[in-house]
Structure 1
Amino acid sequence: MQTIIRKWGNSAGAIIPAAALSKAGMNLGDTIEIDAEKGVIRFKQAEPEYSLDQLLDASPEKSLQVDDEDREWLQDSPVGEEFGE
């Protein structure tokens, strides 16, 4: 496939054919990472970055409950250099 690089404000842009976007498994609005070297520009889907709150919100409620095994582990004394001793 070929396309043309065009001026887009102070930047440049190229149309990505729908078939290429689909083949790459990407969608409109996706965040991408760009890498460039002489004669080659590559872009790939960026890995999502989640906040702690987002991760906790997506966690099953059961996984956030402290059970007897957790309590035992939390009450154990340090066995190594946990506190930088």
Structure 2
Amino acid sequence: MEESLMEKTLKGMGIETSLLNSKQIFTREETERIFNCSHSTLKNFEKRDWIKPRRFKNKNFYTKAGILNCIKIQAPFEAKTH
């Protein structure tokens, strides 16, 4: 199957797209892997309100929508219309 332009762009940014597309909710460790970032970088994203964790049983979880929103904030792409 051919990759979309968006998927190629995300991969070029270092985003782990196969994991991102595998489910809707991710652990902290999985989210760090998706972003290819450290724990402190993910915490900085939270402090800037770029992504909001959901807590369950004293653990942080992140939604696919939240991760995609964080990516959009950091790299705002605008679709060109002809």
Classify the TM-score, shorter chain: under 0.3
Return the structure number with greater relative CO, CA threshold 8 A, min gap 6.
2
Question: Structure 1-normalised TM-score?
Answer: 0.23
Structure with max Cα Rg? 1
* Higher strand content, 1 or 2: 1
